[in-house]
Amino acid sequence: MEYIIMLLSYLAGFLVISLITAFLSFYFKKYYVENGNLIFIHGVIQHERTSVPLHKIQSLRTKSGLIYRILDMKGISFDTLASRTEEIELILDDDDWDALLSRVETQENTQEEVHKTEATEQEATANCKSIKLEVSNLNLIKGALCQNHFKGMAVLFGVLATLYNQITSVNDKAAKYFLDYVETHADTSAFSITAVLTVIMILYIVILILWMGKVFLQYFNMDIRMNEKQLFFESGLITRNSNRFSFDKVCTLYVKRNIIENWLGCCTIMVRQALNATDEKKDTDVKIYGSSHDGNFLNWWLGKDYNSSPTVISARSGYGLLGYIVRFDILISLPAAIALCYYGQYIWIFAPIAYMLVSLSKGLLAVRRSHITLKEDYMEISNGKFAEIYN
């Protein structure tokens, strides 16, 4: 009971400190819109004031976790190109968010009207039309299966690192005991090729499940809407994240098709903005798995006649790229093959040979697919190894 009471008291103290910190952090954050500028006031002891022109906002991002959604709240982040950190971060309810978004859109429309000399009523109506792109959760799973599943290795290593930290925090000698046990029984344990392949297969399945779970949690019920002015993207199962930015803020449109995606008639699309604070973080680009909407995005961004843009100049990579790609693979496979021959493990020699064959295939495909084309309206950069990638 003493330990339970002590634990509860620590928990209560932690909650009180968290509530006080959250209160001081967010209660004194205030904003208002004045003369086309977003004025942001923050700070407890020393009040700071940040002024951002609405038309200079690079992107509007929202995050709605489970508690946020219960309380009808949204975490709002504003990014510009002027800082390496988020310019402004607020927590607003839905009404305040809609009001702020309306003011931002009104300001953007006003800026456009200043630069427009002539605009007919029909064109203004066409600009307001919104296209909704459907990406079902089944296609999401299909698209996730088409990816490099070893991306899940990072998820697996994260889980193992957390588990290791928990074990070592309980007992500092736990890791030493485990290593001593492995060293003691290493000589008496003989692993056959079948056992090794079985372990690899089980590990691959675990990685695949972790990767699929990550993609499903992050991109569940994807909502994509676009018009002539803006792109809106929202997804997430537990936490709903959205990204809203203007047409002219897009810098690169990335389209990838690997072998499986070609068979299934889908692709992976990424919409990238200029390098700013949030884009430097991992997985903040707009990613769409398992879709076939690359034509819709290209038409939206480059115009429906983008294919007719005249070519100015183009160039292809030479076979020097092959050597560049396989250079590290040779340094890995050659010493491994020599060591296996030295210790008489000829049955395992197939591993470095297969590794080098895969590396050579990767290099040859990279040479074949790498080229750059400069057109009057845009530049297309193609690369990729086992997948065709267009930027």
- Tell me what pLDDT residue 119 has: 46
Cβ(293)–Cβ(135) under 8 Å? yes
Please give the Cα distance from 60 to 243 (Å, whole number).
6
- Tell me what pLDDT residue 44 has: 75
- Tell me what pLDDT residue 319 has: 92
Q: Which CATH architecture has domain 2-117?
A: Roll (2.30)
Max mean pLDDT among 83-92, 112-121, 315-324, 339-348 falls in 315-324
- Tell me what pLDDT residue 152 has: 58
Exposure string of 175-206, with b = 16+ CB inside 10 Å and e = fewer, is eeeeeeeeeeeeeeeeeeeeeeeeeeeeeeee
Residue 334 banded pLDDT, cuts 50, 70, 90: very high
Map residue 229 onto helix, strand or coil.
Answer: coil
Distances (CA, A) of 288 to 133, 140, 255, 283, 354: 11, 8, 10, 12, 33
- Tell me what pLDDT residue 283 has: 54
- Tell me what pLDDT residue 122 has: 44
pLDDT over 90 at 75, yes or no: no
- Tell me what pLDDT residue 48 has: 81
Interval 177-185 mean pLDDT: 64
- Tell me what pLDDT residue 380 has: 95
The better pLDDT of the pair 70, 151 is held by: 70
Closest to 279 in 3D by CA, of 86, 143, 15 = 86
- Tell me what pLDDT residue 60 has: 79
- Tell me what pLDDT residue 382 has: 95
Cβ(321)–Cβ(387) under 8 Å? no
- Mean per-residue pLDDT of the chain: 80
88-93 and 131-133 beta bridge pairing: unpaired
pTM to 2 decimals?
0.70
Please give the Cα distance from 391 to 389 (Å, whole number).
7
- Tell me what pLDDT residue 383 has: 93
Percent of the chain with pLDDT over 70: 77
- For the chain, give the number of residues: 391
Closest to 371 in 3D by CA, of 319, 314, 325, 322 = 314
Residue 166 banded pLDDT, cuts 50, 70, 90: low
pLDDT over 80 at 110, yes or no: no
pLDDT over 60 at 228, yes or no: yes
pLDDT over 50 at 120, yes or no: no
Amino acid at site 264? L
Closest to 230 in 3D by CA, of 60, 33, 54, 38 = 60
- Tell me what pLDDT residue 278 has: 47
Please give the Cα distance from 300 to 284 (Å, whole number).
21
Cβ(37)–Cβ(51) under 8 Å? yes
Number of other residues whose CB lies within 10 A of the CB of residue 237 = 14
- Tell me what pLDDT residue 126 has: 44
- Tell me what pLDDT residue 96 has: 85
Please give the Cα distance from 281 to 232 (Å, whole number).
20
pLDDT over 90 at 159, yes or no: no
Q: What is the dihedral of CA 64, 65, 66, 67, to 10 degrees?
A: -80
Q: What is the DSSP letter of 354?
A: H
In this predicted structure, which of 30-44, 128-142, 156-170, 217-231 has the lowest mean pLDDT?
156-170
Residue 192 banded pLDDT, cuts 50, 70, 90: low
pLDDT over 60 at 273, yes or no: yes
Residue 59 banded pLDDT, cuts 50, 70, 90: confident
- Tell me what pLDDT residue 264 has: 87
Interval 111-132 mean pLDDT: 54
Amino acid at site 328? F
